[in-house]
Amino acid sequence: MARGNDKHDIFVDDLDRRTYLKLLGERKRDFGLLVPAYALMTNHIHLYLVTPKANLGEAMFRLNSSYSHYFNNRHGKSGHVFEGRYKYKLIQRDRYALALTRYIHVNPVKAGIVKSPEDYEWSSHRQYLAPRADGLADTAVIMETLGNTHETALAAYTAFICEPIPPKLWRPFDKNRNAVLGTPEFRKEHSPH
């Protein structure tokens, strides 16, 4: 997650959003990332990234600095676009990854921007509903865990997205600090000692 400096908007219009997604696609290619889910909000971004090469820091630095240069040049501004370093959570790839995907896709609904996730153009949710070969999101990371056929996986994904989310399930993702989310064994293995 990355937030605008002093909570200011980081996207003024759709050209800004398209540019960010283009830059994300370039960094995905350059750093060998997988992007299972994303949502571009007005003053912050939610990304679910898989980093097979353990290069998250460099990838995010390049992404955010490229976008900052673009944004400042286009809008006649200077200084920081993003508020400090990005925040991250190391997520266990099972139900925690699925919960993160739902958190990202439902975030525009929770923020009161739209009534349902499919109404929001600037997230990867629509790509789950109607896969596209040229889409940015690597939906297979999640869909492969939900069923053996696309139809089965789509039904499971849709049902999960539509379930009411108790507040206690939002808390681990809403916390601003970096964290490790998973089973106790996963947290113990991946927490700094």
CATH fold of 2-75, please? Alpha-Beta Plaits (3.30.70)
- How far apart are alpha carbons 44 and 22 in whole angstroms? 17
Question: What's the pLDDT at 176?
Answer: 55
Sign for the pseudo-dihedral over CA of 30, 126, 64, 15: positive
Residues 6+ apart with CB under 8 A from 55: 31, 32
HSE-CB for 88 with a 13 A CA cutoff: 15
Domain ranges of the chain: 2-75, 89-190
The pTM score is: 0.89
Question: Per-residue pLDDT for the chain (193 aa), expressed as one digit of tens each?
Answer: 899 998 899 999 999 999 999 999 999 999 999 999 999 999 999 999 999 998 999 999 999 999 999 999 999 999 999 998 888 777 777 778 888 899 899 999 999 999 999 999 999 999 999 988 788 999 999 999 999 999 999 999 999 998 877 666 666 666 655 576 667 786 777 776 5
